[in-house]
A and B are shown apart, each in its own frame.
Chain A
């Protein structure tokens, strides 16, 4: 399983991919719901390229809202898919704020560079398959779903 982990004291931020028949599962874990949303966004970038290869040069502001937080998660990822597609950018860093199922975020990134990013595949959209947003027993938040590529 493709993983990236950053440990700060007892706070764990991590993202990973999980297998799906034809596509790719993305998962983010963090100490807060917002952190889990940031981590799953890194997993989304990781479908295309290694997020560490992306320079966080330009900020792009994203906002969305949904009737529930799990639907908000899918909307968040789809908003990023839209920004990546129309701006032809990749993002390497994210900052998310959520209040009452409204999300305001900033994604930092740069234009696609074929040589440096070696992008693997376009993402068509985030789906409701394997969708899960939960606070785990250890207090961490987990966010996951499958993306269609």
Chain B
């Protein structure tokens, strides 16, 4: 990105001053090096989002921002229904409620290290992953609607997962306002056999160990210590969410003129929040959030069973589950007034700080865990929501490393076998049905996740708590 187009407010804050049809400024939180590496399309997309009706405060880009669909990936924007605000299918993305959850195991690296090959094989066998994979749960139409209304609560009620998990999931495991009747038959068909599946691409299941603690007090509150073994699960609403995204994007493109919305980019398709189409999308999107929450809960159940087969004394406890592709109704301070806003986070994580009323009691004094996925060869991070995040970014932070190289380039540069062997040499076991898939996800194809979280901390979005490195990675 051309730095001369931006106003530098600090080492990690850059503004696109409002011009043309922009209603609010664009604000990019990133170091100079990260901004320079960002695609010029990010600039264009941040600016386009700032033109949408009813937008409040700013169009934000997180430190891992990259070229997305309409919104940049790493984009955050909030809209006020009372000011003609919109909801955008592109602003949520195709993989609705894609997210990360982190489980502690009660085990340390020295216990797991000798067992990791068995664990890798057992996890790979237990959790369906990759193209064409199907889950062991098959939903009829009644159960499909119950799942879409109930989310992780539905999964726990059916014996997948533990009741104690629910308070450690955003929305307590069940997104209110879901309307299964707004989810098409096509979308439901895509999901019928996909519950409890990981998917492919950048989705993963990792066994990791804590290699560094940055904030001892918060780490203790999150029950994280150096040498602890933890598990990360990264996936979303699978085929159902993809189909909902596809269908509503088209409907919003076609209906935009009837709502008097001039789209600078078709992918920015949106509808007024209070319109029938906006309400239908919100109902379907919330059902997809529940699908993602149920899916990650089922996978957690499968992981617990696999672990207990290999290490019977393992006790897998959920730290937290965060989603990073959502639109949620939240209260925020705008010009000294509390407003109810529809906050879009596309590739951005909610990062509520200490004292936020929406946090479960266990995190209310420290801020919520913010889980940042890395690559299979680098690191992931646990952050905590900063008290300044509300003012800085509507309580939002980054979500991952972000790609620095296309899949296409990565597949030309690396071979899957080569990556698997190199990582094995460093003690990281990869299990994947696809060699090319591994090459496309090569660690070198991503930005430096450490630079991303450093920028997020420097900008006051979230605070570093712990660094995690992979031991085993199961990919689709």
Residues of A within 8 A of B (CB): 1-2, 17-25, 48, 67, 71, 74-75, 78, 81-82, 85-86, 88, 111-112, 114, 117-122, 124-129, 131, 148-149
Contact = CB atoms under 8 A, between A and B. Distances in A.
Contact of A122 (B73, B189, B199, B267): B199
B67 A21 contact: yes
B267 A88 contact: no
A43 to B, nearest CB: 12
Interface of B: 39, 41, 66-69, 73, 93-95, 130-132, 134, 186, 189-190, 199-201, 239, 242-243, 245-246, 249-250, 253-254, 265-267, 403, 406-409, 411, 433-437, 440, 476
Contacts of B253: 71, 128
Contacts of A67: 254
Given A125-B94, A148-B94, A149-B201, A22 B67 contact: yes
A125 B89 CA distance: 13
A21 B406 contact: yes
Contacts, number: 124
Given A67-B254, A148-B94, A121 B267 contact: no
A120 B436 contact: yes
Contacts of A75: 250
Contacts of A48: 131
A82 B190 contact: yes
Contact of A86 (B190, B199, B266, B435): B190
Given A22-B73, A148-B94, A122 B200 contact: yes
B191 to A, nearest CB: 10
A129 B131 contact: no
Contacts of B254: 67
A112 B245 CA distance: 25
27 contacts: A21-B66, A21-B68, A22-B73, A25-B408, A82-B190, A86-B190, A114-B132, A114-B433, A118-B433, A119-B132, A119-B434, A120-B411, A121-B200, A121-B434, A121-B440, A122-B199, A124-B95, A124-B245, A125-B94, A127-B69, A128-B253, A128-B265, A128-B266, A129-B69, A131-B266, A148-B93, A148-B95
